[in-house]
Structure 1
């Protein structure tokens, strides 16, 4: 039976890198993104590389759309073996200093990095628990060992996501369902963030150096988490 990976919040960086890596291993790829045209282009690129893929346009922060999309994927491909939550905010949504953060500024980060991961988890976990296997992968933009005030409102949301996932992993420990969180401290090749930083380097505070990694390399990190299943958290790109 062919396995399926569903990538929620698919983009040209993280999403494409993970899709290629899993696709090379024989996985079918469900591309879930808000923009139908972009999702269709990603699918076309994957098919051109010999990877079976299909687009499922949806807003992953909308509970009804996410639930309906999971059902549609299962009708199209069968069960979802691996789910990856890769949705990320725009740099324009980031408040440049923690001192300036107000309560409304948390709305977008919490929707993307807390509420949406919870929605994905609740949509997929019951079936995975029932069959005794499954993989839930998530993305973060910061590490618990590195305090970066310029992440401000997104840093708050990422901390909340981390605690939720650590609790989730503990609760699912003996069910056969693996929970993995990749803390990403790099600019991902071909990503929107890389394009913006290259255009507006002033958005990164002086003295902050962000290493870079191709999206294919990043996909390899997710593949390693899926195959090893030995750590809830993995960090890439952070200095001691």
Structure 2
């Protein structure tokens, strides 16, 4: 029987690259996003590559919606074997400096990069633990490992997300459920962030050079985490 990967916050960058990589191994893909038209377009693109996929619509910043879409995916495809939380915010949500960070500035990163991964985990992990197998994968960025004041609010929340993932890894060892975090320090080919930076280079501070990587190369890194399972974290594209 084919396995299923559910990608929460599916986008044209990381989501598409990971879906193609797992799809080549026979995985069915649950394309989960807020915009139905975009999700269906991603499904159509995957079909051209021979990947079986289906679109599911959910607002990942709402706990009830996360739980609902998990049930819908399971009803359509059966147990979720791999769950990837890859949701990312528009660059307009960033704080330009640490001194500008206030409670309001933390709302978007909190909901998207901490609350939402926790809701996904709570909705999916119990069934994986009961089966004794599965994988929970997460995405992070540059600003937690290498502080970037122009991404100050996200750096604060990504640090909390990282600690959550590390604790989750410790608690799930020996259950058969793998936990993996990809810390991404690159501009991902095809992503909305890459398009924004290309159209508006002033979004990046002068002198900061960001490495670029294709979405397929990023998908390969998630496949490496899933298959090798020799580390809970993998850093991609970070400066020396």
SS of match in other structure, 2:57: coil
Provide the residue aligned with 1:122 in structure 2.
122
Is the 1:187–1:193 contact (alpha carbons within 8 Å) kept by the matching residues of 2? yes
Q: Does 1:171 align with 2:168?
A: no
Query: How far 1:125 sits from its partner (Å)?
Result: 0.5
Mark the runs of 5 or more structure 2 residues left unpaired by the alignment: none
CA distance in 1, matches of 2:147, 2:102: 19
**Given the superposition, is the C-alpha separation of residues 56 and 134 from structure 1 closer, same or farther in structure 2, using an over 3 Å criterion?**
same
Is the 1:142–1:158 contact (alpha carbons within 8 Å) kept by the matching residues of 2? no
CA distance in 2, matches of 1:151, 1:144: 9
SS of match in other structure, 1:235: strand
CA distance in 1, matches of 2:60, 2:19: 18
TM-score, length-normalised on structure 2?
A: 0.98
Provide the residue aligned with 1:64 in structure 2.
64
Mark the runs of 5 or more structure 1 residues left unpaired by the alignment: none
RMSD after superposition: 0.9
Is the 1:143–1:238 contact (alpha carbons within 8 Å) kept by the matching residues of 2? no
Q: Does 1:106 align with 2:106?
A: yes
Provide the residue aligned with 1:236 in structure 2.
236
Aligned length: 240
Provide the residue aligned with 1:17 in structure 2.
17
Provide the residue aligned with 1:6 in structure 2.
6
C-alpha deviations, 1:55-97, integer Å up to 9, x for none? 0011112111111111111111111000000000110000111
Alignment of structure 1 residues 1-240 onto 2, 5 Å = 1-142=1-142, 144-240=144-240
CA distance in 2, matches of 1:26, 1:152: 40
TM-score, length-normalised on structure 1?
A: 0.98
Is the 1:136–1:179 contact (alpha carbons within 8 Å) kept by the matching residues of 2? yes
Deviates more, 1:135-144 or 1:87-96: 135-144
Query: How far 1:143 sits from its partner (Å)?
Result: 6.2
SS of match in other structure, 1:2: coil
CA distance in 2, matches of 1:73, 1:32: 9
CA distance in 2, matches of 1:105, 1:40: 32
Query: How far 1:11 sits from its partner (Å)?
Result: 0.3
Is the 2:89–2:109 contact (alpha carbons within 8 Å) kept by the matching residues of 1? yes
